[in-house]
Structure 1
Amino acid sequence: LQFRDDGFTGEVKVDSIGSGAGFERFCKTGETDIANASRAIKDSEIESCKAINRNPIEFRVGTDALAVVVSMENDFITDVSIEDLAKIFSSEAVLWSDVNPSYPAEPIQRFVPGTDSGTFDYFVEAVMLPVYGKEDKENAKKVFLEAQNLSQSEDDNVLVQGVAGSKYAIGFFGYAYYTENDDTLKTLSINGISPSFETAESGEYPISRPLFIYSDAEIMKTKPQVAAFINYYLTYVNDVIVEVGYFPASEDALNAAKQAWIDANTK
């Protein structure tokens, strides 16, 4: 939308289909000019791209990290394993003591994003799926949604207020939003790793993932509007990325992406 607002008069079509499906369209069928992804491209996908004469160029554009938050009044949990975090948000646990006998025998009050949220999908994928779903995402989602005392909202303000209001509440949302409310909430470390720009960017923090876009030099050469869009994207991404709950890419990563664009367009 911003690209159009600033003067582009052509069509920009965006489909939300997940990283794997996006690479299939970009590398196998060649339907798309750009692939968005929340993971790096796989070797097998690179081979598929090469089979249709595409050489994918990677542009790191940001990092997605979730903050798991509790009230400032909470005095019994500071760190949690992925396994226990999944249990906290499952129908298996009603009381905190169901997760760990040292926790209070009080109901877990859960405040979480709505099911239409990408944040919800990512939490299910990164936390619930390894413990309750293995390869069955629907079962992992079911265990989550059938938990007692579950309040869902697309409004992060509602989640903040809910968690801040009870010693026994817990919730999650994008880390960038937590930083705006760190006077009323505390984050939990996961597997002993606290969330930060550095641990998210490196992937050390367990519920973080890189954000990339991919294209190809020949596509940018034959479709200058694609090159212009990527250049515009890399120029302005850090101005807007925090607004949608992500970390910006580091200066080094973004400079490397800009250099990759220059290299692709000056050959």
Structure 2
Amino acid sequence: MRSKFFVLILVLAALALAACGGSGDLTPEPEVITETVTVEVSPAAETETETEAGAETVVATVAAAEEMAATGLPPVDPLRITGDIVTAGSSTVFPLSERMAERFQNEGYADQITIDSIGSGAGFERFCEAGETDISNASRPIKEAEIENCAALDPARTPIEFRVGTDALAVTVSAENDFVDDITMDELAAIFSTAATWADIRADWPARPIQRFIPGTDSGTFDFFVEEVFDKNAEPILSASNLQLSEDDNVLVQGISGSPYAIGFFGYAYFQENQDILHISGIEGVMPSDTSVEDGSYALARPLFIYSDAGIMQAKPQVADFINFYLTYVNEEVVNVGYFPASEAAIADAQAKWLEAMAQ
């Protein structure tokens, strides 16, 4: 209405000039055109707003495309994801999964993620026998018998392995221990089996009983240590004297730190978290590092995994989205947790398995 009112005034003004000027120049004044154009301010503002909104949409689309190009996976917005997620398994993988779940929630996911630290073996029991969990955390590869248990479920599950990091199993003593700095693999085997005192390992070490603190037999850490040190034969370590087992790595930390004659092993993250009260030993002259775990020169380096199933991922989009998020950002978090990143090739392989599971 305001626009029409101004135009009417301009028209009346032009007629008045024509009446007064007779045969004078009737060419419209430049300022009349200028004023007429300025009347269209409101529509122009709307157009500008629409243009800005369109630009924001384009920017968001480009950003999403760039993210997918960088990771190989479609972008995930935790704000839009609903439904609970249940995971269980390795105590070693636990702090990494906990960190990824915290980031997932910090970025908007509002439902519940359950992460139980019960050991790799117990985790596979809940995933493949009870069928209770959506994701199984593991510090060792799944065993053939566990795969068969998954297949026997109704509906059957086919475990998909996703590599999420690398651990350097840490052999640790108390910070008060001033004699263990490096040990050989043979010495490691003796320490955790037949040796009664530290002097049985090296004559110049104290003739004091060795106190041993190790993960429980459901732990993937236990399985890995037995495989690497005892060639898969658990009898020597389970027959050792002064032996305490626990599925809780924090219990092991307390036991080891409590005596200068104690020793134990667990995931590297637990050493890093407690390095003020613990001392880590080298193995065969090699300390764990990015380089030594990647090239295999550190003898006790091992991969870390999470497992799921295509049927679960398709039936529960929140599970697929969390795994996508995990694989996309894990290498930004893994070092801060206390582990070492998986290689780019390993992460790319895990992402390809995700795409295959989701038929993308």
**What is the TM-score when the length of structure 2 is the normalising length?**
0.51
Q: Which of 306, 322, 336 matches 1:243? A: 336
Contact 2:167 2:339 (C-alpha < 8 Å) held by counterparts: yes
Q: Aligned residue for 1:143?
A: 242
Q: Aligned residue for 2:200?
A: 98
> Percent of aligned pairs with the same residue?
47
Q: Aligned residue for 2:188?
A: 85
How far residue 135 of structure 1 moved from its aligned partner, in angstroms, is 5.0
Of the structure 1 ranges 13-22 and 103-112, higher mean CA displacement relative to structure 2 is found in 103-112
Contact 1:90 1:143 (C-alpha < 8 Å) held by counterparts: no
Q: Aligned residue for 2:314?
A: 221
How far residue 256 of structure 1 moved from its aligned partner, in angstroms, is 0.9
SS of 2:302's partner is strand
Residues 27 and 256 from structure 1, CA distance in 2 versus in 1: closer, same or farther, beyond 3 angstroms? same
Q: Which of 310, 330, 352 matches 1:259? A: 352
Q: Aligned residue for 2:129?
A: 28
Q: Which of 153, 156, 162 matches 1:59? A: 162
Q: Residues 134-173 of structure 1, C-alpha deviation per residue, up to 9 Å, x if partnerless?
A: 3597755x6245xxxxxx9848xx96xx99xxxx998766
- How many residue pairs were aligned? 244
Amino acid across the alignment from 1:235: T
Contact 1:33 1:226 (C-alpha < 8 Å) held by counterparts: yes
Matches within 5 A, 1:109-188: 122=221, 126=225, 130=230, 134=234, 140=240, 143-144=242-243, 154=253, 174-175=267-268, 187-188=281-282
Q: Which of 189, 207, 210 matches 2:283? A: 189
Contact 1:112 1:173 (C-alpha < 8 Å) held by counterparts: no
Question: Matches of 1:223 and 1:116 in 2, distance apart?
Answer: 33
Q: Aligned residue for 1:149?
A: none
Q: Residues 234-260 of structure 1, C-alpha deviation per residue, up to 9 Å, x if partnerless?
A: 122222222333222111111111121
Question: Matches of 1:69 and 1:116 in 2, distance apart?
Answer: 13
Contact 2:192 2:237 (C-alpha < 8 Å) held by counterparts: no
Question: Matches of 1:123 and 1:87 in 2, distance apart?
Answer: 16
Of the structure 1 ranges 196-205 and 9-18, higher mean CA displacement relative to structure 2 is found in 196-205
Q: Residues 181-207 of structure 1, C-alpha deviation per residue, up to 9 Å, x if partnerless?
A: 8xxx884324x8764546645777543
Residues 7 and 108 from structure 1, CA distance in 2 versus in 1: closer, same or farther, beyond 3 angstroms? farther
1:17 aligns with 2:118: yes
Residues 134 and 109 from structure 1, CA distance in 2 versus in 1: closer, same or farther, beyond 3 angstroms? closer
Q: Residues 25-81 of structure 1, C-alpha deviation per residue, up to 9 Å, x if partnerless?
A: 22222211111111112223223323332222110111221244799xx89975412
Contact 2:192 2:212 (C-alpha < 8 Å) held by counterparts: no
Question: Matches of 1:76 and 1:116 in 2, distance apart?
Answer: 21
SS of 2:115's partner is coil
How far residue 226 of structure 1 moved from its aligned partner, in angstroms, is 0.4
Question: Matches of 2:136 and 2:180 in 1, distance apart?
Answer: 43
Question: Matches of 1:239 and 1:110 in 2, distance apart?
Answer: 39
Question: Matches of 1:36 and 1:135 in 2, distance apart?
Answer: 26
Residues 106 and 154 from structure 1, CA distance in 2 versus in 1: closer, same or farther, beyond 3 angstroms? closer
Structure 1 residues without counterparts, runs of 5 or longer: 146-151
Question: Matches of 1:34 and 1:137 in 2, distance apart?
Answer: 31
Residues 122 and 57 from structure 1, CA distance in 2 versus in 1: closer, same or farther, beyond 3 angstroms? closer
Question: Matches of 2:126 and 2:265 in 1, distance apart?
Answer: 32
SS of 1:255's partner is helix
Amino acid across the alignment from 1:236: Y
Residues 201 and 56 from structure 1, CA distance in 2 versus in 1: closer, same or farther, beyond 3 angstroms? farther
Over the aligned positions, Cα root-mean-square deviation in angstroms equals: 4.6
Structure 2 residues without counterparts, runs of 5 or longer: 1-100, 245-250
Residues 50 and 233 from structure 1, CA distance in 2 versus in 1: closer, same or farther, beyond 3 angstroms? same
**What is the TM-score when the length of structure 1 is the normalising length?**
0.66
Q: Aligned residue for 2:105?
A: 4
